[in-house]
Structures are given as C-alpha cells and as structure tokens.
Amino acid sequence: MIEVEHLTRRFRRGAETVTALDDVSLTLGPGELTVAAGPSGSGKTTLLSIIAGFERADAGRVRFAEPLPPDAPPESLTWRHLAFVPQGLALLDELTVAENVELPALLDPDAGPGRRTAELLDGLEIGHLADRYPSLTSGGEQQRTAIARALRLLPPVLLGDEPTGHQDRDRILLVVALLRAHAYAGNVVLISSHDEAVIDLADRVITLADGRVVSDDRPGARPAASAR
Ligand SMILES: Nc1ncnc2c1ncn2[C@@H]1O[C@H](COP(=O)(O)OP(=O)(O)OP(=O)(O)O)[C@@H](O)[C@H]1O
C-alpha cells in the first residue's frame, strides 16, 4: 500500500550537514504491526514525518496505492486516509478530550461512521476524562487521547511516533493491542519505538542507524515469538 523509494533527507546545522535519512527504501503493507526501531537520532521521526507529509524529502518519494488515492502526495491525505500520532501529540487545549477525538470526524463529515469516540475512550481507559481539557490530564492520558483521535476514522494508514512513550507497562500492552488490532483489520500501522516491550510485540521490526535501514525482520518467524 505504501512504497518508500530512496528517501534522503539532510538538515543544515550551521556549517554541518546532517543526513537524517540516507537512501531509505521499503514497502509497507496492511495486516502487521511494524515498528521502526533504532537509537536516538537514527532517523525514525524523519521517516514517519515524510510518509505523513509533514516533512519533505530532498530525494526519493513516497507512493500510495489503493485504498489510498493512488499516487497522491502525502501532504494531500486527510485523517480518513492517514492518521499520525506525533511525539508532540498536537492536541487542542481549547477542546475537551472527547472533542479532540471527535475532531477528525467534524473536519471530514463525508468520512463515514468510523469508530465511536466513547468506545475508543473506554478502550483506552480515558472514558472518565471525556469532558476534561487535555492540559488537566496526565501525559500518558494525553497520549492515549491522541491515539484515540488517530483511530477515530479507522484510517488505512496509522503512523505513531513513540506512541507508547508516556505509558506504564499495562498501558503499553493496551495501546499495542489496539494498534495491532487495527493492523490486523487490514490497515498499515507503522510506529517508532525504543521500547523493547513494544519491539517484542511487533510483527515486523525495521531498524535504522544513521539514517539507513540496517535490518528488516519479521520476528514472528523466530521460535521465541511464535507463541503470540
Ligand atoms: N529540524 C532539524 N534540524 C536539524 N537536524 C535535525 C532536524 N530534525 C532532525 N535532525 C537530525 O536528523 C537526525 C535524525 O533525527 P530524527 O528525529 O529523525 O531521529 P529519531 O531516530 O527519531 O530520534 P529520537 O529517537 O531521539 O526521536 C538527527 O541527527 C537529528 O539531530
């Protein structure tokens, strides 16, 4: 569904040029939870941001296929096609938790019913916070609000930048279970993570180092993970 072709992204830092992504190519398909792993600064956020259309590549391109509008540029996609959980969450503090989750549906009335906000909030254990403003909730609760918002329209592509970074162990399992269920329903789910607990639960692990893909494994093929 997504072809990432020879992406390169460089940043200027004074006299220095940092190569955040260096000729990265990969294919992302539906039906598996894919985790982009790798040390801090390896290029995970840059990769997700370019796929999501928030960042532009210096070279290479991202191509989408059905059910996304074929060959649409990433920046033209809406929440109903592609949802992103950014590290900064980007919640609107003048809206309540429930209203933030509802926002993609309000912005796109033709998007269809999607998944109910109340069901998402309950599933992510923030139903009791529905009417509270995000700034009056914890970092983990805010992150789960952003995850609920991303799932609201059941998008065929869901990207998350460290979407479990603020969660405790039980909530990591909760979030990963929800993201895997979304993937198994036939959608592309790509998240970044440093967390071994998350990486262990992934169906596919793409490891970056210095802006390059250094391994691309499906650990389910390994005996230790086959009991999942
Ligand atoms: N706007 C920017 N300006 C300059 N350098 C940048 C910028 N954004 C990213 N970089 C650099 O590009 C490289 C890749 O950064 P990126 O944020 O993609 O890494 P990451 O793997 O997501 O890191 P982390 O796990 O810490 O979030 C790093 O060396 C980073 O310092």
Tell me the CATH number at 126: 3.40.50.300
**Conformation bin of residue 138: beta by default, left when phi > 0, alpha when psi is -120 to 50:** beta
User: Ligand 1 atom 16: the closest Cα is on which residue?
Assistant: 43
* pLDDT beyond 90 at 93: yes
What stretches of the chain adopt beta strand conformation (E)?
2-13, 16-28, 32-37, 59-64, 82-85, 157-161, 188-192, 204-209, 212-217
For ligand 1, residues with CB inside 6 Å are: 11, 13, 18, 20, 38, 40-46
Q: Which pLDDT value is given to residue 16? A: 93
Q: Is 65 helix (H, G, I), strand (E, B) or coil?
A: coil
Phi-psi region of 90 (alpha: psi -120 to 50; beta: other; left: phi over 0): left
The whole-model pTM stands at 0.93
Nearest CA to ligand 1 atom 5: 11
Number of compact structural domains in the chain: 1
Q: 46-55, 132-141, 155-164, 216-225: which has the minimum mean pLDDT?
A: 216-225
Residue with tokens 């209203």: 99
Of ligand 1's listed atoms, the one at least distance from the Cα of 38 is 21
ipTM: 0.97
The percentage of residues in the chain with a pLDDT greater than 70, rounded to a whole number, is 96
Give the chain's radius of gyration (CA, Å): 17
Task: Answer yes or no: is pLDDT of 226 > 80.
Answer: no
pLDDT digits (tens, 9 = 90+) for 118-162: 999 999 999 999 999 999 999 999 999 999 999 999 999 999 999
Q: Which domain holds residue 83?
A: 2-225
